[in-house]
Amino acid sequence: MSQYNFKKITVVPTAKDFIDIILSKTQRKTPTVVHRGYKISRIRGFYTRKVKFCQQSYHDKLTMIITDFPKLEDIHPFYADLMNVLYDKDHYKLALGQMNTARHLIDSVAKDYVRLLKYGDSLYRCKQLKRAALGRMCTIMKRQKQSLEYLEEVRQHLSRLPSIDPNNRTLLITGFPNVGKSSFINKITRADVEVQPYAFTTKSLYVGHTDYKYLRWQVIDTPGLLDHSLEERNTIEMQAITALAHIRAAVLFIMDISEQCGHSLEQQISLFKNIKPLFTNKPLIIVINKIDILTMDDLPPEKKELFTEFEESSIPIICMSTLTEVGVMEVRSEACDRLLIQRVESKIRSKKVQGVAHRLRVAMPEKRDTTERDIELEMGDDYSLDLRKRWDLANEEEKYDVLPEIWNGHNVADFIDPDIMTKLEELEKEEELREKAGFYNDDTEEEDEEMQDLRKTARKIRNKRMLKTLESREKKGIKTKFPRTGKKVDKADIENTMAELGIEIQNKSKTHYATQNNERSRSTSRRAIKRKREESEVARSGSRSVSRKREKSAHRTLSITPRDKSGMRDEKMAKKAKKLAKAAVGPMHRQGIFETDRRIAVKKPKHLFSGKRKMKADRR
Amino acid sequence: MRLEKCYFCSSTVHPGHGIHFVRNDCKVFKFCRGKCHKAFKKRKNPRKSRWTKAYRKATGKDLAVDPSFEFEKKRNIPVKYSRELWNNTLVAMKRVEEIRLKRQGQHIINRLKEGKKLRKEADIREVDKHIHLIRAPGAKAPVFEKKMVEVIMADDDDEDMEGN
């Protein structure tokens, strides 16, 4: 593969630098400490490592240099020849060969000394061996000083070579020195080549790029050629010759008609004849430059005769002036066209094209007699665009029907189907079947009166429950009164609720709740009960005064039924209530644990026991 | 002019309404209003948003699979116009709509039947358990009603008296 970019070659250090780099690397990257008292194997290993490391580094760096520099056999012959011209092939190869031998020598030195180190019996001896090894390797490198310098120069020059693609479309400009080659390239490309009145201003090849017919073209400016034999040519001219020899390009041979370059037309033509062999198989154009000074017509007839030769051999002659830019573009177009033709022809002849050629097809549009536009122009104002006139329908009358698009939130177009009627029939059949099967029957039985009543009562019950819950919610926030005094019962309330529930209360005047509120309306039977109690108490205590006092003062307090007996129908109910009360207390109370006692829900919460202690009081 | 379906809620998008969104993979999403558009941008799944048709169909609340749905389909192959075909289509459309609505309605009725039964049973249970809140055991009609009956009777007597 031809490589035309030599910018990636590693920098070649000078001999001194090379040695410094490697030695400092060895010092840094290997262990540095060793003592006399260590085991001998450890000491040997230490020094062996140093020798081997140094050898390895040298080897790697030299390998990199050798592989980075291009091999003259592997690159395009144009570049190989150019490099030969510039750097002398033999010298180049020799230098690289020297690198190779140096590498080999360093390897063998290291091998020998490593072998010797295996038998080193003291730190001092091992150290001396390592010193000798490293010293020898560095001496080898010191001897390569010249080669290294040369290679560095070559590298720098190589990286500055213009990137010429030998296979791309190229225009090559040749001629005597000072005829106007560099001015021409400056005109057609963006290259900025130095233009000076003295000869050999251009000392190397320059590349510029230009566009023509949507393609990129390389334009190569060469140093001027003088009319002598190949052997006498110097390095600069040889570059031009190399370019001419190896690159398949269109050649523009520029001649100075005004002879201001310092050479006559005859001399220029004789040069042309000399290098003619290089122009075989290349499209050639003779370009006459500097016609602003002297035109073709002003030439005396003898000079004109010189050009008839070219006309006979059908080489085109174009006149131009780089100063006034007359004919410059013509020259470029002519050269490009000729080169393109030649390249296309050669490609067609090659085998690759056959595979592609039969796949190419160019479509040409047919000619029509009258277009819609023609009709429009003809009719002028009367014209109206009627898109339906070319419609191809079964029935011509239907062309101008007004179509409904939407019906009841559906697109009519979504239902269009040639088989719609058959499908509809199937659907209707299915629907009939379903009706017959009783799919659409209403199975719900009419509810009888009993059921309706039941529903009503259920509704009533639900309402009642809702009311009760609302009542209890209202009570929720209210604090219980302490000490708990007897609740005053509203007579009307009790009577109402009982009436709602359907219970008739007999003897309303004699009821419990009625007498409770009304002290005067106490029955005698009640009193009798109380008296009995007092008597028993007297028997127990045995003091009359106390009982008397109690008689007078304790009437009211004793009239309120004790809490555990109020609201109970009988003994049995009272006992059950007591039992339930005990059960309702809960396991905690029975154990003696009450709500207000302090309790720790989580003994060891994680957030207080994990993590480091900081200057915060958030840990236990 | 076409009525589109909203991608999110499946309602119709009339011309001049809503937003069409074209994604990088060339899929077009049409939305009927900002609500659906925003829900889509929040990456909500229409099959999980309770109020969308997609949810209703996915959870079986509305009829989803039925032959009457096969008639309305966006067809990409155009059919040549013929008057007869279009007239037939219009007639068929109306009939298909009727049948579809009927079947949808039936689907919902079937779905709700179970609930009716359960509610009936719940009423019976309610009455069994909590009748004591309305009526004490052993009581006949509530006392109020008796009173009302007396009042009505009294009125009747008055009227009779007046009439006479």
- Return the H-helix or E-strand segment holding A473: helix A449-476
R_g over Cα of chain A: 61
Q: Which 3 state secondary structure label does DSSP give A288?
A: strand
Q: What is the DSSP string of A553-586?
A: HSHHHHHSPPTTTTT-SSHHHHHHHHHHHHHHH-
Sign of CA dihedral B75, B13, B71, B68: positive
Interface of A with B in 321-360 (CB under 8 A): none
The amino acid sitting at A66 is I
Q: H-type helices in A477-559, by residue range?
A: 491-501, 512-517, 524-541, 544-553, 555-559
- Residue A34 is predicted with a pLDDT of 93
Q: What is the pLDDT of residues A414-452, one digit of tens each?
A: 999 999 999 999 999 999 999 999 989 887 778 788 889
Most confident of A2-16, A44-58, A150-164, A305-319: A44-58
Please report residues of A whose CB lies closer than 8 A to that of B10: none
Q: How many CB atoms lie within 10 A of CB A138?
A: 19
| Phi, psi for residue A262 in degrees, rounded to 5 | 105, 5
Q: Which helix or strand (DSSP H or E) is residue A245 part of?
A: helix A235-246
Task: Compute the distance between CA of residue A259 and CA of residue A290 in angstroms, rounded to an integer.
Answer: 9
- Confidence tier at B94 by pLDDT (50, 70, 90): very high
DSSP A9: P
pLDDT digits (tens, 9 = 90+) for A209-268: 999 889 999 999 999 888 888 888 888 888 888 888 898 889 999 988 888 888 888 888
Mean pLDDT of A400-422: 94
Which pLDDT score is estimated for A526? 47
Averaged pLDDT, B92-116: 95
* pLDDT per position as a tens digit, B6-47: 999 999 999 999 999 999 999 999 999 999 999 999 999 999
| Residue-wise pLDDT tens digits, A113-136 | 999 999 999 999 999 999 999 999
B102–A440: do the CB atoms touch at under 8 Å?
yes
Give the per-residue pLDDT at A489.
74
First-to-last alpha carbon distance for chain B, in angstroms, is 80
Q: Select the residue from B4, B12, B88, B144 to test the A interface by mutation, using most A Cβ atoms within 10 A.
A: B88
pLDDT exceeds cutoff 90 at B99: yes
A-contacting residues in B 69-128 (Cβ below 8 Å): 70-75, 79-83, 85-86, 88-90, 92-93, 95-97, 99, 102, 106, 113, 116, 120, 122-124, 126-127
**Cβ contacts (< 8 Å) between A464 and chain B: which residues?**
130, 133-134
DSSP letter (8 states) at residue A290: -
Residue A406 with chain B: CB contacts under 8 Å: 1, 3
Please state, in angstroms and as integers, the Cα–Cα distance from residue A197 to each residue in A119, A185, A297, following that order. 75, 16, 26
Percent of chain A with pLDDT over 70: 91
So what's the pLDDT on residue A4? 55
List Cβ<8 Å contacts ≥24 apart for A206-215: A206/A162, A206/A182, A207/A162, A207/A163, A207/A164, A210/A332, A212/A332, A212/A333, A212/A336, A213/A336, A213/A340, A215/A169
Percent pLDDT > 70 in chain B is 88
Could you give the 3-state DSSP secondary structure of residue A166?
coil
Q: How many CB atoms lie within 10 A of CB A150?
A: 18
Minimal CA–CA distance to A121: which of A217, A4, A39, A186? A39
| pLDDT band at residue A521 under the 50/70/90 scheme | very low
Q: Is the pLDDT of residue A354 over 60?
A: yes
Inter-chain touch A461–B97, beta carbons under 8 Å: no
Whether the CB-CB separation of A288 and A319 falls below 8 Å is answered with yes
**27-66 in chain B: CB under 8 A from chain A:** none
CB contact under 8 A, B139 and A461: no
Tokens of A71: 């091999």
**Nearest chain B CA: its distance from A429 CA (Å):** 12
DSSP string across A424-440? HHHHHHHHHHHHHHTTT
Q: Tell me if ipTM is over 0.85.
A: no
User: Which range, of A190-194, B32-36, B101-105, averages the lowest pLDDT?
Assistant: A190-194
What pLDDT score does A456 carry?
92
The tokens for A321 are 């002036």
The mean pLDDT of chain A is 85
Q: Which of B53, B72, B86, B124 to mutate to test the interface with A (most CBs of A within 10 A)?
A: B86
pLDDT digits (tens, 9 = 90+) for A4-19: 568 888 999 999 999 9
Contact B97 A408 (CB under 8 A): yes
In this predicted structure, what is the pLDDT of residue A528?
46
Look-up: residue for tokens 């007297």? A538
How many angstroms separate the first and last alpha carbons of chain A?
77
**Cβ contact A401–B130 (<8 Å):** no
Task: Say which residues have a Cβ less than 8 Å from residue B3's Cβ, sequence separation at least 6.
Answer: A406, A409, A410, A411, B12, B13, B14, B15
pLDDT per position as a tens digit, A77-108: 999 999 998 999 999 999 999 999 999 999 99
Which of A395, A450, A461, A462 should we substitute to test contact with B (largest number of B Cβ atoms within 10 Å)? Answer: A461
- B83 burial (CB, 10 Å; 0-12 / 13-18 / 19+) is middle
Percentage, residues of chain B above pLDDT 90: 79
| Residues in chain B closer than 8 A to A398 (CB atoms) | 81-83
Q: Pairing mode, if any, of strands A317-319 and A284-289?
A: parallel
* φ, ψ (nearest 5 deg) of residue A275: -95, 10
Residue B143 in contact with partner chain A when CB distance is under 8 A? yes
Mutate to test the interface with A, among B53, B135, B147, B148 (most CBs of A within 10 A): B135
